[in-house]
């Protein structure tokens, strides 16, 4: 009794051509963006500067972890505590997540927690948080209206 078993795997020529074409197009588009032939996505800060969009309101904030696990939000100029965030329902989860990422970037750059974060509302309605130590900017509108409100309330006129 003879058992013939074939392990040869074949892929059709058309599938290989399509896969090669997809890889080629991806490489060409990446190169075109890298060499400036195709414009990159707009950087919000650059787009605002080019359009002459001015800041409407800004506030410098500091964030401090407390022993009970809460995060204190402090006006960096007046040292007034604006809020103590304990859980998810008060927007604390989103704020903690954003601040954890920014704090990690500061640690990697060898920077401390002394420099404030600048929260700014712009004429076009956008809301940004800038780490004044690293220059990193986060557009808070990108995370949806509820998460935007979590930060907007720390401005003196907190309309979302």
Q: pLDDT tens digit string along 97-135?
A: 898 899 899 999 888 888 999 999 999 889 999 999 998
What is the pLDDT, as a whole number, of residue 142? Answer: 86
Decide if pLDDT at 92 tops 80: no
Decide if pLDDT at 43 tops 80: no
**Average pLDDT, whole number, for the chain?**
85
Q: Are strands 81-85 and 117-122 parallel, antiparallel or unpaired?
A: unpaired
pTM for the model: 0.69
DSSP code of residue 6 = -
| Residue-wise DSSP of 77-131 | TT--EEEEE-STTTTHHHHHHHHHHHHHHHHHTT--S-S-EEEEEETTS-EEEEE
Highest mean pLDDT among 29-33, 90-94, 126-130: 126-130
- 4 Cβ neighbours under 8 A, 6+ residues apart: none
What is the pLDDT, as a whole number, of residue 132? Answer: 92
- What is the rounded CA–CA span in Å between residue 90 and residue 105? 25
- What is the rounded CA–CA span in Å between residue 150 and residue 41? 26
3-state secondary structure of 157: coil
Answer yes or no: are the C-beta atoms of 61 and 120 closer than 8 Å: no
Q: pLDDT tens digit string along 125-159?
A: 899 999 999 989 999 988 888 888 889 999 987 56
């Amino acid at each position: 009794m003879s058992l013939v078993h074939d392990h040869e795997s074949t892929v059709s020529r058309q599938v290989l051509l399509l896969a090669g074409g997809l890889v080629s197009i991806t490489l060409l588009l990446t190169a075109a963006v890298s060499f400036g032939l195709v414009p990159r996505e707009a950087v919000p800060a650059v787009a605002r500067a080019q359009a002459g969009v001015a800041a409407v309101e800004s506030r410098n904030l500091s964030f401090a972890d407390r022993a009970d696990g809460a995060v204190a939000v402090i006006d960096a100029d007046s040292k007034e505590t604006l809020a103590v965030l304990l859980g998810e329902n008060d927007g604390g989860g989103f704020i903690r997540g954003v601040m954890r990422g920014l704090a990690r970037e500061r640690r990697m750059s060898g920077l401390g927690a002394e420099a404030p974060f600048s929260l700014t509302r712009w004429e076009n309605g956008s809301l940004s948080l800038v780490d004044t130590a690293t220059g990193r900017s986060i557009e808070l509108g990108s995370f949806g209206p509820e998460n935007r409100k979590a930060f907007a309330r720390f401005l003196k006129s907190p309309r979302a």
